[in-house]
Each structure stands twice: as structure tokens, then as C-alpha cells.
Amino acid sequence: MTSRLELSGTAFSAYRHCLFCDCTTAQTLKAMRGGMTFREALAKRLEMIQPTTDMLNNYLRSHPPHLTPGIEELISELHDRGVAVYLVSGGFHAIIDPVAQHLDIPLKNVFANSIKFYFNGEYAGFDENEPTSHQEGKAEVCAYLKHRFGYRTLIMIGDGATDLAACPPADAFIGFGGNQVREKVKQEAKWFANSFQELLAELRRN
């Protein structure tokens, strides 16, 4: 049985670019800081943008993933130690899945949201059955993984309010500020790391 699990939140997806235009930033930040539910923010920003399949495909072609420094080394070290790594994100599979493939994380270990489209490529909503589409979704994923695989130790790493809220059922939470520092997370996390190199150095001491 795998005794440790590193469960990533938004930090591991770590795109330097956003799929959404600047007008959606207020809703996203408000949710990440705990000012509105995540599902409310998700619905609002998608309604504002009305994304299409062409828009998404053009974005993916012009914005390949730019990962936060140190993430590849950290994931590689965890894999070498036999640690299961999951990506749990309020983002979308279309964007998160290529990151997982780049990091050699199985796609079955990715929990994210799905945008729905009509046959003509126009926006048709999002899959509300995905656990990550609502505020408690990451906590639900943590509980599911512990029950399904019997992990004795499950650690959530993330930079947002929804990551923080996943502990418990996660056994521990590490706040991450390598992309953006959110004061609520920094204040409430027992350990707040500013880089993946910091996490890697600590891992190698154990």
C-alpha cells in the first residue's frame, strides 16, 4: 500500500497564462480568497466569455504550458519514491491534462472540470457533476481517494481557499505562494512554502 500521497491543488497546474480574459479576474480572485463560492465564480466567468471549441483550441496552440520552476524536479522525486501524485484543480481538463502528461502523471489521477459544447462548437455549459466544480469538491476528492485506495497519509498542496478547505479530510495542508500569495491561505496554513525548491529540499532531508 502506498503510504504517502501528494495531492496537488492549483499550484501544480501552474500556468503563467489564463484561458480567460482580464474581465474575469475579479470573480476568480474573489472565489480563491473565499469571497464567493467556486461554482458561482466558475459559472460567472464562463457566462461572460462564452468559450467555443475554436477559442479553446487556438488558446492551447498559442499558450503551451509554462510550469512553475522546480515542479518537474519535485514530481520526479516523488515518482522515484513511489509516491502517488494527483492533480486536483478547479481548472479544466483541456488545460490541466497536457500538464499532467508533461509531468508523467496518469490522466486517471487528474480531477478537474469539463466544459460542454454543442455540436457546432458553441458553449453549452460545464459539467456540474465534476466534484471540482463546487466549493467542497477538493475535499470530496480527498475523501474519495483515502477511501478508495486506503492512503494512510494524504497531503494537499495548494494556493487557494478551496485547497485549504480540503484539510480535513486531507491529513495535512501545505500552502503554496510560488505563483501568488493569498493572505487567507498564508495565515491559516501550518506550513507555507514560497517555492517548489523549498518543498524538494525538505523532502530530500527525509
Q: Is the pLDDT of residue 194 over 50?
A: yes
Of the chain, the end-to-end C-alpha distance in Å amounts to 19
Question: Residue 195: what pLDDT?
Answer: 85
Helix intervals (H) in the chain: 10-13, 25-32, 38-49, 53-62, 71-80, 93-102, 137-149, 161-164, 183-188, 196-204
Confidence grade of residue 14 (pLDDT, cut at 50, 70, 90):
very low
Q: Is the pLDDT of residue 10 over 50?
A: no
Q: Of 7-21, 62-76, 134-148, 189-203, give the lowest mean pLDDT range.
A: 7-21
Place of cell 495531492: 7
Query: Higher pLDDT residue, 134 or 101?
Result: 101
Q: Per-residue b/e over 118-151, b at no fewer than 16 CB within 10 Å? A: eeeeebeebeeebbbbbbbbbbbbbbebbeeeeb
Question: Residue 131: what pLDDT?
Answer: 82
CATH architecture for residues 3-205: 3-Layer(aba) Sandwich (3.40)
DSSP string, 150-206: --SEEEEEESSHHHHTTTTTSSEEEEE-SS---HHHHHH-SEEES-HHHHHHHHHT-
Give the pairing type, strands 84-92 and 4-8: parallel
Bridge partners (DSSP) of residue 86 are: 7
Question: Residue 64: what pLDDT?
Answer: 76
- What is the pLDDT averaged over residues 16-21? 36
Report d(CA 12, CA 157) in Å as an integer: 8
Q: Is the pLDDT of residue 160 over 50?
A: yes
Percent of the chain with pLDDT over 90: 1
- What is the pLDDT averaged over residues 93-117? 86
Report the predicted TM-score, pTM, of the whole model to 2 decimal places: 0.74
Q: CB of 35 within 8 A of CB of 185?
A: no
Query: Higher pLDDT residue, 93 or 15?
Result: 93
Distances from the Cα of 171 to the Cα of 39, 109, 146, 153, 156, angstroms: 25, 19, 10, 6, 8
Q: CB of 179 within 8 A of CB of 68?
A: yes
Angle formed at CA 35 by CA 191 and CA 184, multiple of 5 degrees: 15
- What is the pLDDT averaged over residues 36-58? 81
